[in-house]
């Protein structure tokens, strides 16, 4: 049950959801934004809320929830550029499921210098409960696709949501680096404020490194962090798209039927980040092209930095 949490704007086509955290004397308040059903279909959460209409502000401490019934069915971690957006959209195609795709408001709590671990756990669960309340007309079950965040946050997430089925999506490191080469990643706004993972502290002092080497270090750090999480199952890029309906949905305890599978198959025909409106593009697997065009520098980075960490992960994380 949720208390003192706005859930309706009076319109059947909009939803009130957490937007960002504001700190007052070391205690968090959460602002809420009104978003449309169409905006919920955006590939990433920051796109969903970019044309936001703020409607409320609540103390996070005052949002009550039933700790035993936070409707979180599964969590997705990933190394980036590996199909996680497709999986999240496939799961959201289910009538009673919505995947939160890298919501920065959750990261704001994880990064917070304020409060104890117990405080941050309660605040994060309150946020998830607030999302569930705001989206209850859209879905009864939530899945979270997290940003590419390394230790200590991954370990904390596992401890905050014990027992929630979790998967890690990976891809051939050469192909991942070629994708980052074509389009460098962007750290979340304000990443260097609050608690910062050690790897990001280090990268802040060696920013003169070529961006592709920084990307490789971050991917390797994430793989190492996932190794420390209990019960994470690994999913390879080449098993997409069918693994979502064959194994991921059942692993998350989600029921699907033939029509659900048809919807998931249809989504896989287009690029997950460019599959709406005029941007809709038919998907074409570029793995072979990335392998052919990768130079020795890229291959050396993949072999030296990422592959040892990925190999370690394969020894401790069973494939789904």
How confident is the chain (320 residues) per 10-residue block, as mean pLDDT? Answer: 55 85 94 93 89 86 78 95 95 96 93 92 94 93 91 89 96 95 70 64 61 87 92 96 97 96 94 67 88 94 96 96
Q: How far apart, in whole angstroms, are the C-alpha atoms of residue 47 and residue 195? A: 25
Q: How far apart, in whole angstroms, are the C-alpha atoms of residue 75 and residue 87? A: 11
Domain locations along the chain = 67-316
**To 5 degrees, how large is the angle CA 71–CA 73–CA 76?**
130
pLDDT score recorded for residue 2:
44
pLDDT score recorded for residue 193:
63
DSSP-based three-state secondary structure for 195: coil
How many alpha carbons fall within 13 Å on the CB side of residue 134? 28
Which strand ranges, in their side-by-side order, compose the sheet holding 166-170?
A: 97-101, 141-145, 72-78, 166-170, 232-236
Question: In this structure, which CATH number among 3.30.70.980, 3.40.50.2300, 3.30.420.40, 3.40.50.300 belongs to the domain 67-316?
Answer: 3.40.50.300
CB 87 within 8 A of CB 76: yes
SS (H, E, C) 32-53: EEEEECCHHHCCCHHHHCCCCE
Angle between helices 307-316 and 211-227 (to 10 degrees): 20
What the block records as the tokens of 247 is: 């194994």
What the block records as the tokens of 282 is: 């038919």
pLDDT score recorded for residue 213:
87
pLDDT score recorded for residue 7:
63
Q: How far apart, in whole angstroms, are the C-alpha atoms of residue 288 and residue 111? A: 38
pLDDT score recorded for residue 156:
92
């Amino acid at each position: 049950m949720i208390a003192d949490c706005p859930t309706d704007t009076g319109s059947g086509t909009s939803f009130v959801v957490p937007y960002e955290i504001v700190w007052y004397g070391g205690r968090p308040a959460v602002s809420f934004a009104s978003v449309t059903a169409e905006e919920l279909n955006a590939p990433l959460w920051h796109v969903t809320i970019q044309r936001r209409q703020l409607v409320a502000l609540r103390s996070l401490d005052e949002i009550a929830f039933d700790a035993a019934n936070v409707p979180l069915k599964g969590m997705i971690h990933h190394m980036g550029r590996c199909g996680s957006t497709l999986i999240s959209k496939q799961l959201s195609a289910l009538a009673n499921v919505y995947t939160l795709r890298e919501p920065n408001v959750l990261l704001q709590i994880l990064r917070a210098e304020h409060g104890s671990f117990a405080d941050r756990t309660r605040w994060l669960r309150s946020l998830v409960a607030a999302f569930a309340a705001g989206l209850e007309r859209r879905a009864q079950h939530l899945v979270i696709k997290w940003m590419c965040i390394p230790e200590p946050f991954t370990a904390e997430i596992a401890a905050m949501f014990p027992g929630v089925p979790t998967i890690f999506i990976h891809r051939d490191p050469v192909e991942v680096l070629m994708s980052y080469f074509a389009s460098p990643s962007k750290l979340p706004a304000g990443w260097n404020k609050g608690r910062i993972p050690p790897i990001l502290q280090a990268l802040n002092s060696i920013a003169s490194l070529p961006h592709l080497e920084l990307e490789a270090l971050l991917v390797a750090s994430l793989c190492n962090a996932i190794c420390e999480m209990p019960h994470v199952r690994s999913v390879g890029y080449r098993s997409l798209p069918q693994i979502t309906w064959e194994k991921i949905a059942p692993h998350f305890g989600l029921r699907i039927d033939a029509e659900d599978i048809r919807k998931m198959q249809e989504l896989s025909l287009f690029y997950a980040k460019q599959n709406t409106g005029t941007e809709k593009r038919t998907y074409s697997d570029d793995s072979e092209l990335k392998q052919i065009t990768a130079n020795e520098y890229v291959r050396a980075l993949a072999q030296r930095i990422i592959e040892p960490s990925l190999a370690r992960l394969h020894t401790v994380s069973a494939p789904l």
